[in-house]
Amino acid sequence: MSAMTLNSLGNLDSAQNRLDEARQHYEEALKILRQLVRQNPEKYLLDLALALSDLGKVDKSQNRLEEARQHVEEALENFRQLMQENPDKYLPYVARTLSNLGVLDVDQNRAEDARQHYEEALKILRPLAQQNPDAYLPYVARTLNNLGTLEKDQHGREEEARQHYEEALKIRRQLTNQDPEMYLPYLANTLNGLGVLDSDQNRMEEARQHYEEALKIRRLLAQQNPETYLADVAQTLNNLGVLDSDQNRMEEARQHYEEALKIRRQLGQQNPETYLVDVAQTLNNLGNLDKAQNRIEEARSHYRQAISVYQELSKGNPNRYAADIAGILFVLANLEQNDTDK
DSSP 161-205: HHHHHHHHHHHHHHHHHH-HHHHHHHHHHHHHHHHHHHHHTT-HH
Give residue 81's pLDDT.
97
* 223 CB-contact burial (10 Å; exposed 0-12 / middle 13-18 / buried 19+): exposed
Would you give per-residue pLDDT tens digits along the chain (342 residues)? 788 899 899 999 999 989 999 999 999 999 999 999 999 999 999 999 999 999 999 999 998 999 999 999 999 999 999 999 999 999 999 999 999 999 999 999 999 999 999 999 999 999 999 999 999 999 999 999 999 999 998 889 999 999 999 999 999 999 999 999 999 999 999 999 999 999 999 999 999 999 999 999 999 999 999 999 999 999 999 999 999 999 999 999 999 999 999 999 999 999 998 999 999 999 999 999 999 999 999 999 999 999 999 999 998 788 889 999 999 999 999 988 776 665
Whole-number pLDDT of residue 4: 87
Check: CB of residue 240 under 8 Å from CB of residue 215: yes
35 neighbors 57 (Cβ within 8 angstroms): no
CA distance 8 to 6: 5
pLDDT at 3: 87
In angstroms, the CA 260 to CA 39 distance is 57
Q: Does the CA dihedral 175-179-185-188 come out positive or negative? A: positive
Residues 172-185: b if buried by 16+ CB within 10 A, e if exposed: beebbeeeeeebbb
> Is 0.85 topped by the overall pTM?
yes
Q: State how far the alpha carbon of 252 is from the alpha carbons of 101, 124, 150, 328, in Å.
A: 40, 45, 30, 23
Quote the CA–CA distance of 249 and 212 in Å, as a whole number: 15
**pLDDT of the residue at 342:** 58
**Distance between CA atoms of residues 303 and 314, nearest Å:** 16
